[in-house]
Structure 1
Amino acid sequence: MKQPTLKACRKGNHGFTLVELMIVVVIVAILASIALPSFLEQINKTRRADGTSKLLEIMQAQERYRTTEFTYTTDLTELGYTVDGDGDATSDEGYYSIAASACGDGIATCVQLTATPQNAQQDDACGTLSLDSTGLRTKSGSPPIEDCW
């Protein structure tokens, strides 16, 4: 039996045409355009957990402070947090700036904590997140509150 020569193996056209390659590129582009927004929203959701967990942590510190001082505080250094020049604390990952302010009848009875998105989180659809000592959770963005908290 005779071995096929190299010339016999190259009989047909092997490889991809430009049209086939362009079809693959278009399909990949369509899949990427669908997947990328979902991926970015998941990243924002993960970063949002940084802000909400810090709000809850500081609110717990506020409640402990109130049990001994009979008032809340807007000065987060009294709770043991490091603050910037504006008096705001930073979340653990640095995606939110946390501020405290009086609400309702004053600081003795109510405090509101506000988490403002910073750096890469600024484009988050939920916007600024807030929590007050009555347990009210709010946000400034358009998604439903359940999606943001």
Structure 2
Amino acid sequence: MPRQNGFTLIELMIAVVILAILAAIAIPNYQQYLLKSGRSEGQAKLLEAMQMQERFYSQNQAYTRNLGVGGIGYAGVAANAAAPSEDGRYLITADVCAAGIPITACVVLTAAPQGSQGADTVCASLTLNSRGVKGISGGTGTAATCW
């Protein structure tokens, strides 16, 4: 009987199993990498918005909740609307730091995840206040791991 060239069914099944194991490991890691890289967009937008808030404060002696027209003036953002990040993964809003503290004393910016970034259950929403305190809200992680 002449020897045939090619793969046996067992060899083919072993190759498929190996590929399935590699995919089961690689795909979740890649998804976590995408979420982590999306966080850097939210962080950058928060820092940019805080710089604009500080500029607003130096001119008006108060912070503002308004990130759009008549406030800190993000281009294309209507008055009192949330400002989207560059790729739309986050919406930035501003509010007072805590009840009883006026907006003239402290402001907190929050980056709420949007779209596919909403799957980020570790960090959820990123926060930054005018006192330089970085944090998260709604996530299972810590500020140190998310920032």
TM-score by length of 1: 0.88
Show CA shifts across 1:12-41 (max 9, x none). 121111111011100110011011111111
> In the alignment, which residue of structure 2 is the partner of 1:132?
129
CA positional deviation for 1:135: 0.9
Q: Residues of 1 paired with 2:120 and 2:58: CA distance?
A: 35
Change (3 A) 1:118 1:84: farther
Amino acid of the residue matched to residue 41 of structure 1? Q
- Larger-gyration structure (1/2): 1
Matched residue, 1:59: 50
Q: TM-score, normalised to structure 2's length?
A: 0.89
Supply the AA of the counterpart residue of 1:23: I
Equivalent in the alignment of 1:118: 114
Aligned-pair Cα RMSD in Å: 1.6
Question: Which residue matches 2:94?
Answer: 100
- Matched position secondary structure for 2:116: helix
Return 5+ residue gaps in structure 1 as ranges: 1-9
Q: C-alpha deviations, 1:71-90, integer Å up to 9, x for none? A: 00001121111336861110
Deviation of 1:145 (Å): 2.0
In 1: Cα distance, 2:23 partner to 2:113 partner: 27
Q: Which amino acid aligns with 2:140?
A: S
| Deviations 1:46-80, CA, capped at 9 Å, x for gaps | 11111110000000000011111000000112111
Q: Percent identity at matched positions?
A: 44
Give the Cα separation in 2 of the matches to 1:52 and 1:99: 13
Structure 1 residues 122 and 85, CA, compared in 2 at 3 Å: closer, same or farther?
A: farther
**Higher helix share goes to which structure?**
1
After superposition, residues 5-84 of structure 1 pair within 5 angstroms as 11-77=2-68, 78-81=71-74, 82-83=76-77
Unaligned residue ranges in structure 2 (runs of 5+): none
